């Protein structure tokens, strides 16, 4: 019933999540309904003794404490704004009013405590009802008019290629085909067809403007186009120019006419020139004189060129339509991915930073670089049917898996999430060709890593990462190799106390041995074996805001390659960032002096 829809929306958005099991069990008669006070049963009966709506607070305050409607609304507003100080002040007013109404202080306090807890999730019933109407209407339309509904949804998100791709996948799930654009069938927007499919809209094709579409639709009313030459002769080539026609061909809008896409592209220049010449002759009355219907006695031969490969065709569709419309290489693996615990790329935006994920996709670009230490690593772009993201393969990972990685390859990855602004990238721990056995193996290793981390008391999100630099953590990396010296941002790392100002034996200059301001010196560990030394560099708040300063620091580090790993300590967030081996240095007094001249005295320490 509609009341159930309202309740579900209020319970879940944002809703009393902890009471949802009680609500469901009470609704199905599995548990007895309990009310804070018997007098409140008429108010809370529909929600099984649980306060779900803000309006119920007004009714409780009026019924139990004798509040006027104005006073009850003030309490409701305090709840909706989560104003704790107002709620605390209103407690005395509520208890006093309840006592006057014949309730005990204990009963009034218990009910008011329930109201205060409700302030954590309060939601107006009127809002839930409004959302419920929309939810019911759209669900009805999707169930009874699925083609028209999905065509409207696609039209509504036409400016977002990612959303269009997401809805196209949903159409396929509903056994509804989204057909490529067609110069004889497509409208401006996505069009529902009688056969139960949807035709791609011309407005969703890159480079096709409003005037070009208007010209196509106006001319098409006379009769359908029967060839590329016929199209070029009839449309207004001033607005429907070569670039527009080329985009239409590459997007598949001429697939229903003679010739394949590669042929039509190859003959486009000649066809447009012939159409322009014919139009000029007609305008000069050399063909269509005295109203006779002209019968052109010339045509253009279709060149003998090979068809676009499947990869070329898909890439052109991706560029012009924003998605792979005629299919995607991952489609054959859809049952495997659906039945596994692997994450889809489109779902990774909600995964926590540093979490280990297993995902799959197609390599759409690959770039390799060589680090300062002569080791190869790679940056790839990975894509599924909807989302695209960058994957970083550090030297060890690249060395193990480079033989499988090439453009067009279908791969499965175990990787660590790294969020950046509004997007994310993956730091690969392991890669393998996409297959059932390899996907199962990666998922098992992720579970094993999570169990071992839990046993060791470490966060599960850091389990299984082998991508990084010193200390086992993966460094924050730039989006592309060309930006390899841009400023780094801190990642979550174990809270290791910054070290004292001990210097390597080569440093004979006097140094201050106290910890830098705000740092805590580590406790002495006389019985433990000596750990590998590392250089800790404190990044102050001022330095963190100066991107050029961090770029200069990294350049300086790379001028002094050596064996000591470098760790950045960000003062503002109290977090550590272990840099990759490319920034390991050979310590010297001169180097430390230059670093401290950039960052301030006492900012460089060795342990």
Query: Is the distance from CB of 363 to CB of 407 less than 8 angstroms?
Result: yes
What is the pLDDT confidence band of residue 453, given thresholds at 50, 70 and 90?
low
The distance in angstroms from the start CA to the end CA of the chain is 67
Per CATH, the number for 332-467 is 2.40.50.140
DSSP secondary structure code for residue 560 in this structure: S
Q: Which residues of 484-498 are buried (b: 16+ CB within 10 A; e: fewer)?
A: bbbbbbbbbbeeeeb
Query: Helices (DSSP H) in 66-124: which residue ranges?
Result: 69-80, 84-100, 105-118
Length reported for the chain: 607
The residues pairing with 199 across neighbouring beta strands, listed in sequence order, are 179, 191
Instruction: Note the pLDDT of residue 476.
Output: 55
The model's pTM is 0.61
Is the pLDDT at 24 greater than 80? The verdict is: yes
The domains spanning 147-311 and 332-467 adopt the same CATH topology: no
Where are the chain's structural domains?
2-128, 147-311, 332-467, 484-606
Phi-psi group of 374: left, alpha or beta (phi > 0 → left; psi -120 to 50 → alpha; rest → beta): left
The pLDDT, as a whole number, for residue 451 is 67
CA angle 363, 447, 471 (to 5 degrees): 80
Helix (H) or strand (E) holding 555: helix 547-558
Range in 167-181, 231-245, 539-553 the model is least confident about: 539-553
User: What's the CATH number for 147-311?
Assistant: 1.10.150
Q: Which token pair is 65?
A: 């404490």
pLDDT (tens digit per residue) in 272-321 = 998 888 888 776 665 545 555 555 556 788 899 999 887 788 888 888 88
Confidence of residue 486 (pLDDT cuts 50, 70, 90): very low
* ∠ CA 299-300-303, rounded to 5°: 150
Residue 231 pLDDT: 93
Q: What angle do CA 303, 304, 307 make, to 5 degrees?
A: 105
Report how far Cα 263 is from the mean position of its chain's Cα atoms.
38
Contact predicate 380/436, CB 8 Å:
no
SS (H, E, C) 463-494: CCCCCCCHHHCCCCCCCCHHHCCCCCCCCCCC
DSSP 3-state assignment of 405?
A: coil
pLDDT tens for 146-173 read 999 999 999 998 878 888 888 988 898 8
- DSSP bridge partners of 577: 568
Cα–Cα distance for residue pair 388/356, rounded to 1 Å: 18
């Amino acid at each position: 019933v509609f009341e159930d829809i309202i309740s579900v929306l209020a319970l879940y958005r944002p809703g009393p999540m902890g009471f949802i099991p009680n609500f469901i069990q009470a609704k199905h008669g599995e548990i007895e309904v309990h009310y804070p006070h018997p007098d409140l049963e008429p108010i809370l009966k529909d929600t099984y003794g649980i306060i779900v709506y803000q309006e119920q607070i007004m009714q409780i305050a009026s019924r139990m404490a004798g509040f006027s409607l104005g006073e009850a609304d003030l309490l409701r507003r305090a709840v909706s704004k989560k104003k704790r100080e107002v709620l605390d002040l209103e407690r005395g007013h509520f208890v006093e009013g309840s006592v006057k109404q014949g309730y005990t202080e204990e009963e009034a306090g218990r009910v008011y405590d329930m109201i205060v807890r409700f302030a954590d999730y309060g939601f107006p019933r009127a809002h839930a009802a409004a959302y419920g109407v929309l939810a019911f209407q759209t669900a009805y339309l999707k169930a009874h008019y699925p083609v028209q509904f999905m065509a409207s949804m696609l039209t509504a998100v036409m400016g977002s290629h990612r959303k269009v791709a997401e809805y196209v996948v949903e159409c396929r799930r509903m056994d509804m085909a989204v057909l490529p654009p067609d110069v004889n069938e497509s409208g401006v927007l996505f069009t529902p067809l009688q056969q139960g499919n949807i035709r791609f809209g011309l407005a969703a094709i890159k480079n096709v403007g409003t005037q070009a579409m208007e010209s196509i639709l106006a001319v098409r009313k006379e009769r359908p186009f029967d060839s590329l030459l016929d199209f070029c002769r009839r449309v207004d080539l001033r607005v429907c120019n070569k670039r527009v026609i080329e985009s239409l061909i590459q997007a598949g809008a001429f697939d229903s006419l003679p010739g394949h896409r590669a042929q039509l592209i190859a003959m486009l220049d000649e066809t447009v020139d012939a159409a322009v010449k014919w139009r000029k002759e007609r305008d000069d009355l050399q063909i269509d004189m005295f109203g006779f219907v002209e019968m052109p006695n010339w045509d253009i031969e279709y060149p003998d060129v090979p068809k676009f490969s499947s990869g070329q065709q898909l890439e052109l569709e991706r560029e012009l339509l924003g998605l792979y419309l005629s299919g995607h290489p991952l489609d054959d693996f859809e049952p495997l991915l659906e039945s596994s615990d692997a994450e889809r790329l489109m779902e990774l935006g909600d995964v926590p930073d540093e979490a280990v994920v297993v995902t799959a996709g197609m390599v759409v670009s690959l770039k390799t670089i060589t680090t300062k230490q002569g080791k190869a690593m790679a940056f790839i772009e990975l894509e599924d049917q909807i989302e695209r993201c960058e994957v970083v393969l550090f030297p060890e990972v690249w060395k193990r898996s480079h033989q499988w990685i090439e453009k067009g390859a279908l791969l499965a990855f175990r990787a660590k999430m790294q969020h950046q602004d509004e997007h994310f990238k993956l730091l690969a721990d392991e890669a393998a060709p996409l297959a059932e056995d390899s996907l199962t193996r990666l998922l098992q290793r992720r579970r094993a890593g999570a169990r071992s981390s839990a046993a060791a008391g470490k966060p599960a999100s850091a389990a299984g990462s082998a991508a990084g630099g010193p200390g086992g953590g993966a460094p924050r990396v730039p989006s592309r190799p060309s930006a390899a010296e841009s400023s780094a941002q801190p990642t979550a790392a174990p809270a290791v106390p910054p070290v004292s100002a001990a210097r390597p034996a080569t440093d004979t200059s006097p140094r201050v041995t106290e910890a830098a301001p705000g740092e805590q010196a580590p406790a002495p560990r006389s019985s433990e074996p000596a750990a590998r030394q590392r250089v800790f560099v404190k990044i102050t708040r001022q330095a963190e805001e100066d991107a050029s300063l961090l770029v200069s620091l990294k350049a300086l580090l790379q001028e002094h390659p050596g064996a000591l790993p470098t760790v950045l300590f960000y003062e503002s967030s109290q977090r550590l960032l272990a840099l990759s081996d490319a920034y390991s240095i050979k310590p010297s007094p001169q180097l430390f002096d230059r670093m401290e001249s950039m960052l301030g005295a006492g900012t460089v320490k060795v342990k």
